[in-house]
Amino acid sequence: MNTVDHLKTLIAFDTTSRLSNLALIEHVAAYLEQHGLKPWLSYNAERTKANLFATVPAADGSINGGLIFSGHTDVVPTDGQIWQSDPYTADIRNGRLYGRGAADMKGFIAAVLAAVPHMKQTRLARPLHIALSYDEEVGCLGAPVMLDQLRAHGLSPEHCIVGEPTSMKMVVAHKGIQTYTCRIHGKAAHSSLTPQGVNAIEYAAELITFIRQLSGRLKNRSDNDPAFDVPFSTLSVNTIHGGNAVNIIPQSCELQFDCRNLPHMSADEILRPIEDYIRHTLEPHMQAQDSRCRIELQQNAAVPAMPAAEAETLHRLVASLTDSQTAEKVAYTTEGGQFKQAGIHTVICGPGSIEQAHKPDEYIELEQLARCDAFLEKMIAAHSVR
């Protein structure tokens, strides 16, 4: 099967993050076993989802070190989107293959699967690994489970290519992401008796204003990085819910915000002023009116940034194979930060455009798949016995 055939098959599996990915994983495992590989799986706590890891050993039989080709199997929902074709049936039109996950990121996975026979036929100087994860789209939840299992198996790969859609350009760094839920617990009262209530929405508004002001200060820091497409760390409040009726002082309000930190900045450094403002300003004011009032701050997701440092060898290799000397840095987040945190030098490089990800009529250009095929062929050759 070629890359397009593999991609058609992968798109037909609805692996939206809220669903199981086991059918796809079992299909891939069976394919790899047909080629003599021995994949192993690592599961979520409910055993409804699995990561897959497989190794093509070096010519001398060694399985340690080497390079990982990494991709996530889950996709975002199509709810509320209007598609010109069935999102789970690949459709080729005008040099583009349409389907959910075509770009993000089943296209790369398909290319890796199509390259397996070539990997097997090559006398490798170093092993090549295939890593497929679950639940990347909802907080990169699967990769840490797989990395723990790598350590349990005594494996320590040296390099990793995460095939997120970069139009086959080399991305050497990305921001981290942390998401938070803030619940403001005030005191309800009739709106004609405002002094008897503690207005949760108004206190939420004060917090939102503070977060916006802090975001402005982050934008103007002297240590921002112009190599990033968004060169500063960001904060944004993106959901808010509160109140029951127009004539009731709202007892509760909930908001969610996200923080995207540059690699050299810690998320704690950004969050600390928000925590201090809550604990030393907002809560005391609320509790002066009613001691039972409080504010909860809960972290929902935390994915580390991927710094560019200490991966020069991999950078040079990928640059030479993609004919691109540009080392890009991006604001979005991938599993690359987790691989990097585990001591594995990582680059993001894959077919398709991130601009197509998550949209209706998501597509990948066939030319991008062909470029990825050529890249993988060269990468396999670079790992062969000379």
Q: pLDDT digits over 341-377, tens only?
A: 999 999 999 999 999 999 999 999 999 999 999 999 9
Q: Output the six-digit token pair for 208.
A: 């939102």
How confident is the model over 243-282, as pLDDT tens digits?
A: 999 999 999 999 999 999 999 999 899 999 999 999 999 9
250 strand-pairing partners: none
Question: Which one of the listed residues 91, 104, 135, 136 is annotated catalytic?
Answer: 136
187: nearest Cα among 285, 297, 278, 298: 285
Flag whether pLDDT at 164 surpasses 90: yes
Q: pTM for this one?
A: 0.92
235 strand-pairing partners: 259
Coil, strand or helix at 369: helix
Based on the residue annotation, tell me whether 373 is a catalytic residue of this protein.
no
Question: Which one of the listed residues 74, 135, 362, 365 is annotated catalytic?
Answer: 74
Model confidence at 323, pLDDT cuts 50, 70, 90, reads confident
Asked, as a colleague might, if the bond just before 306 is cis with ω within 30 of 0, I would say no
Domains located in the chain, CATH noted: 3-174+305-383 (3.40.630.10), 176-303 (3.30.70.360)
37, 128 Cβ separation under 8 angstroms: no
pLDDT score recorded for residue 312: 84
Flag whether pLDDT at 39 surpasses 90: yes
How confident is the model over 115-149, as pLDDT tens digits?
A: 999 999 999 999 999 999 999 999 999 999 999 99
Task: Give the span between the Cα atoms of 210 and 87, in whole angstroms.
Answer: 41
Sheet (strand 170-174) strand order: 40-43, 50-56, 128-133, 67-72, 159-162, 345-348, 170-174, 327-330
Based on the residue annotation, tell me whether 74 is a catalytic residue of this protein.
yes
Q: Using the structure block, give the residue that is written with the tokens 């077919």.
A: 351
